[in-house]
Amino acid sequence: MKQYEFQMFNQKSGRLEYARATAKTEKIARLQIVLVYGDQFDVMDLCSDVNPPHAIAGEIDCSYFPDADMDWLKSRVNL
């Protein structure tokens, strides 16, 4: 597990913000962030920082997200 940090831009203000998720892969972390914030933010494709799991507070903890549910996750974020 690693904590992946992504830059994201507020769609209304253009303000740069950050979101973090601990997950098995960068892809799972990004999709979970898009699922939560994608209606208000444009989430960058590549992570901007990688930390040990749960290193920075305020993350999405998707460390137990099953690989078998990737198709469902992709469908929820309209990719």
Per-residue H/E/C for 3-72:
EEEEEEEECCCCCEEEEEEEECCHHHHHHHHHHHHCCCEEECCCCCEEECCCCCCCCEECCCCCHHHHHH
- For the chain, what is the domain count? 1
Residue 78 confidence (pLDDT): 73
Domain housing 46? 2-76
More confident residue, 44 or 58: 44
Sequence-ordered list of residues with C-beta below 8 angstroms from that of 61, at least 6 positions apart, any chain:
21, 22, 54
Q: Which of 1-5, 53-57, 63-67 has the highest mean pLDDT?
A: 1-5
Residue type, 53: P
Residue 47 confidence (pLDDT): 96
